[in-house]
Structure 1
Amino acid sequence: MVISLSLYIVAPAIAVTEELQFNSTTGYKAKTVFTYDETKNVTSIEEQGKGKTQIVDYLKIDFYQPSGKLIATYDNIVDGVSTGNYFKFNFDPKTKKLTGNIDLGGELAGEVYLKGEVEQGLSLIEVNNLGEEIIIAQMSK
């Protein structure tokens, strides 16, 4: 009787956690934490829309009033799945900076989100009951 044993060594994924904070001149803050698999050796991370993500495994964003009180928190990506239809996230892992279009946070009436073209400036926006976007503050890193 011959017993054959095969051993496979699987290299574990190396998750990198990044934290970014954005501030407004009026005191509002947005803090985001996200993780991605460093072994994929990408030069840029681009995630968009609802569904399975390519690189990012987890992304959470918190919004704070000038007093420091939490306004809202959103888990935009959980276990590699994006929950938002309008979600946009672009990140350069080499420079550790956001790039391009960003849309992080909520989507529905009464919710807030961070949106804009990074190079031109980001806005903290609230959706009113009519579905209109109201800019609460201009944000910078």
Structure 2
Amino acid sequence: MKNIFAKIATIAATSTAFSVAIAAGANNPAQAVDFNFNWKGDAGYSAVGSFSYDEATAPTIISESGSGATNFLQSLNVSFLDPFNNLLGTYNTVSGGVSQSSFFTFNFDTSTQKLFGPLDVAGGTGVIGEYFFQGTIGDSLFLRQDVNQQGTSITLDQNSGSIQVSKVPEPASILGLVAFGMLGLGSTLKKKQASC
């Protein structure tokens, strides 16, 4: 009997903590929204990455290019994998609202949550052998590797321009679901206690 009361007290305390965390998140509306993206080439190479921006200030269309301070994008990173899922390289193309590559090109529609048009991420930092991902979404996208930092590169893989984008669930939504689940567990424990 004491065990059931201890569990209920723990659930109540956890639910209260989650409620406070959710309320704190609601009082800070200027938060970054995060998206993941992934691409698979015809030969089995892949790219996985993420990007973020402040949804309170971002326009419907986010277009970024070149090095230096970005207009709206706060971060963008990408990792490349070979057909055996071995990591080829990871690049933080945008970090802290600053692009590291003069070749950087990015277009995103915040209303449809889709990438579109020209894309060029990773590489571009002046290192021989670095990887980069470029092309036109809906037409063809290429994973390439630089050979000599003088415009020569080899194409490792490509596809018809298909790339998937998914929004990362907000922490408050996840906490809300956990709290709701805990309330259900508490109700189940109460019923179990009543039947004892």
Q: Shorter-chain TM-score: what band? A: 0.7 to 0.9
Q: TM-score, normalised by structure 2?
A: 0.64
Give the alignment partner of residue 33 of structure 2, picking from 6, 12, 16.
16
Relative distance call for 1:48 and 1:41 in structure 2 (3 A) is closer
Structure 2: which 5+ runs fail to align? 1-26, 164-196
Give the alignment partner of residue 50 of structure 2, picking from 30, 33, 37.
33
Q: SS of the counterpart of 2:107?
A: strand
Letter in 1 for 2:157: A
**Aligned 8 A contact 2:29 2:56 in 1:** no
Give the alignment partner of residue 61 of structure 2, picking from 41, 44, 54.
44
Q: SS of the counterpart of 2:56?
A: helix
State the partner residue of 1:5: none
Post-superposition shift, 1:89? 0.7
Q: Could you list the per-position Cα deviations for residues 116-139 of structure 1 after superposition, in whole angstroms to 9, with x for gaps in the alignment? A: 111211100111136302111113
Give the alignment partner of residue 121 of structure 1, picking from 119, 137, 140.
140
Aligned equivalents of 1:54, 1:130: Cα separation in 2: 27
Q: Could you list the per-position Cα deviations for residues 4-25 of structure 1 after superposition, in whole angstroms to 9, with x for gaps in the alignment? A: xxxxxx9642210000100012
Give the alignment partner of residue 112 of structure 2, picking from 95, 98, 103.
95
Q: Could you list the per-position Cα deviations for residues 7-61 of structure 1 after superposition, in whole angstroms to 9, with x for gaps in the alignment? A: xxx9642210000100012111101101100001411111100111111101101
Give the alignment partner of residue 158 of structure 2, picking from 113, 138, 141.
138
Structure with higher strand content: 1
State the partner residue of 1:63: 80
Aligned length: 132
State the partner residue of 1:4: none
Among all aligned residue pairs of Structure 1 and Structure 2, give the percentage whose two residues are the same amino acid.
35
Q: TM-score, normalised by structure 1?
A: 0.87
Question: Which entry has the higher C-alpha Rg, 1 or 2?
Answer: 2
Structure with higher helix content: 2
Letter in 2 for 1:134: I
